[in-house]
Amino acid sequence: MPRNARRSGSLPRAILPRLLAGLLSLSFMALLPVTAQATNLFTLGSHATTNDIVTEANGTGYAAWVQPAAHSSEPEVVLFCKIPRGGTCLAPITLPLPAGANEEIIQPFAVLGSSPNVVYVVGPRYIKDEDTLIWTSTDGGEKFSAANRVHSASPDKTNVGDVLLDPNTPASASPTEDYFGMAFNNPGLGFGFTANEIVSGTTSFTFENPGTGGVASSTLGYVHGTIEDSFTKQQIHPEVEAYYNLSSPAPEAFFYRYYAKGGNVDGEEKGWEGPFKVSDGYVPRLAGGPAGLFMLSTDIAPGESTEAQPSAVDVRKFNEASHTFEAPVMIAKIPTSAGTLFNSGDIYENPETGTLYVVAPVVHGEEYVMRLWESNDGGKTFHGERDIAKISSGYTGIPRLAVAANGQGWLTFNDGGGLEVANLIGPGSSSLTIPKQTDHVNSKGETSVAVDCAGAKCTGSLKLLVHLKKKTGKGKKTKTITVVKTVGVASLHSLAIGADKVALKLSGKGLELLKAGHYKLGTTGSATYLSGSMSNTTTGSVELKGHEPSTKK
């Protein structure tokens, strides 16, 4: 292919509980995740060998996978399913292979097009011609065209880490002429790109020196900011490809980046620079969006030997000025005593909000589960920790995570039971248990309040409100209204799962009411609140009955 083909015009690219037993209301602003329950929604295929899923902004999921054929002499079957928000897969579609093309798909990837209602299934194949099959739907995944067969795969590469919609698709492209970037691996590392409806002009290559030990995974991401392509003088989003080697004594994670210098294009290795080492760890995963580009990896924990099991679940942000990944934020540590899972989690960035979501396999008691975290401050802190799926024996491969802006989302992964699907539920109602309280207030005007966030972590701030009656107007226009006054505040900072204590600071008015004896600290109660499993804040209230001091002389 000509060097300029890619960048030419034709192919660029209560929680204070019943604290006061009077007419009192408790309100809170806090991130209170749903009760931690690891529940898998359904199984797409009992013998499915690969998986991928994406989601629309409304929470509809689109999944693609490979199912073994009934007879070994027949090719594997490529399946697709459109899953409505909160629903299940009712009618999977079999995507037909071209006549005489019986070579297997390495892994199919569902990709949302740049135009409304356009959905693709992109399936690179390992055959002599190194081609890719692309099925296209223009009605939101209801039906698909015959497969378009395009040259694209990287020679001698048998695994595909990612197939992504290329944000450098030119504005002049037709609604179904989208471009795709691809990361290949095993035994080496490769990069490729292709375009739907275009047979010639696509390209791929193998990185010459990705390191020793053998490349064991690959992942692709696009930098959010743009740079000027030195060949076309156009602004583009450059690629980053990350991977890890089975090095000794420890696995090592690296990355390459495209830097668009000297007239080079991303379809040639000389347009890239690297490899750059990131950590002693394995299975890096990339996710990009409005908050930037981020990497998830499981690393050897600080202070531990390079021969130790990688156990630190780390997230790093790509610094677009220095072209490096910044210091890690460790969001969890897998107990090494539980034995190694040696499998990846996944990271996803919502393309509208920039909210980050991380899922990783961890040990919970005697079970292996998928645990989810989220961040809405650009990966500086993570919260909302909760278990979302159970893992049976035989867990393998890379899970695939996709979350919509409304908090609805999906997780797919392979274990001994097949291709499992977990439904990520957005904001909804839940119940909160409030343990029994006492009425002790210390000399600082504080009372220690027990809270139980129903098996989840609580982070945020609380306000204790009291309803007081007030007269307004004069004469016949006199009327009594109810005003709400804040009489106590508290802050929650990642309280432990289950029951914990917070210090509530009462105001002078709160202390006055307690001293007068008309309000008492109460007993066990319950509240209904809007759980913020995928939202930034949560609000709710508890009504308590009682009376105010008499105003009669």
Structural domain range at position 483 = 431-544
Q: CA separation (Å) from 311 to 131, 303, 334, 439, 457?
A: 38, 12, 5, 44, 22
Q: Look at residue 425 in the predicted model and tell me its pLDDT.
A: 64
The DSSP code for 511 is: H
Q: Which one is predicted more confidently, 174 or 408?
A: 174
Q: Look at residue 333 in the predicted model and tell me its pLDDT.
A: 86
| Alpha-carbon gap, residue 528 to 66, rounded angstroms | 43
**Mean per-residue pLDDT for 294-307?**
91
**Is 448 a domain residue?**
yes
Q: Look at residue 80 in the predicted model and tell me its pLDDT.
A: 95
**Is 500 a domain residue?**
yes
Confidence class of residue 428 from pLDDT cuts 50, 70 and 90? Answer: very low
Residue 211 has pLDDT above 50, yes or no: yes
Q: Which one is predicted more confidently, 419 or 478?
A: 419
Q: CA separation (Å) from 246 to 154, 398, 517?
A: 21, 17, 70
Residue 11 has pLDDT above 50, yes or no: no
Q: Which one is predicted more confidently, 409 or 72?
A: 409
**Is 130 a domain residue?**
no
Q: Look at residue 229 in the predicted model and tell me its pLDDT.
A: 76
Comparing 93-102, 116-125, 416-425, the range with the smallest average pLDDT is 93-102
The DSSP code for 338 is: G
* Mean pLDDT of the chain, nearest integer: 75
**Is 463 a domain residue?**
yes
Confidence class of residue 423 from pLDDT cuts 50, 70 and 90? Answer: confident
- Model confidence over 132-182: pLDDT tens digits? 899 999 999 999 999 988 876 665 667 899 999 999 888 888 999 999 999
**Mean per-residue pLDDT for 87-107?**
81
**Is 488 a domain residue?**
yes
On the 0-12 / 13-18 / 19+ scale of CB atoms within 10 A, 530 is: middle
Q: Look at residue 415 in the predicted model and tell me its pLDDT.
A: 87
Confidence class of residue 533 from pLDDT cuts 50, 70 and 90? Answer: very low
Comparing 108-122, 159-173, 210-224, 270-284, the range with the smallest average pLDDT is 159-173
Confidence class of residue 536 from pLDDT cuts 50, 70 and 90? Answer: very low
User: Which pTM value belongs to this model?
Assistant: 0.73
Q: Are 514 and 426 in contact (CB under 8 A)?
A: no
Residue 299 has pLDDT above 50, yes or no: yes
Residue type, 96: P
Report cis status (omega within 30 of 0) of the bond before 249.
yes
- Model confidence over 224-280: pLDDT tens digits? 998 887 777 788 899 999 999 998 888 999 999 998 776 677 778 888 999 999 999
Q: Look at residue 6 in the predicted model and tell me its pLDDT.
A: 46
Comparing 12-26, 125-139, 395-409, the range with the smallest average pLDDT is 12-26
Q: Which one is predicted more confidently, 52 or 360?
A: 360
Residue 45 has pLDDT above 70, yes or no: yes
Q: Which one is predicted more confidently, 129 or 540?
A: 129
Residue 538 has pLDDT above 50, yes or no: no
| Alpha-carbon gap, residue 121 to 144, rounded angstroms | 9
Residue type, 318: F
Confidence class of residue 129 from pLDDT cuts 50, 70 and 90? Answer: low
**Is 243 a domain residue?**
no
The residues near 93 (Cβ < 8 Å, ≥ 6 apart) are: 79, 80, 81, 143, 144
Strands of 392-445, DSSP E: 396-403, 409-415, 418-424, 428-434
**Mean per-residue pLDDT for 178-198?**
88
Q: Look at residue 540 in the predicted model and tell me its pLDDT.
A: 29
- Token output for 417: 């039971």
Q: Look at residue 191 in the predicted model and tell me its pLDDT.
A: 92
- Model confidence over 454-499: pLDDT tens digits? 444 445 556 666 667 778 877 777 877 777 777 777 665 544 444 5
Number of domains in the chain: 1
| Alpha-carbon gap, residue 97 to 120, rounded angstroms | 15
**Is 172 a domain residue?**
no
**Is 451 a domain residue?**
yes
The residues near 526 (Cβ < 8 Å, ≥ 6 apart) are: 431, 432, 433, 434
Comparing 19-23, 56-60, 258-262, 317-321, the range with the smallest average pLDDT is 19-23
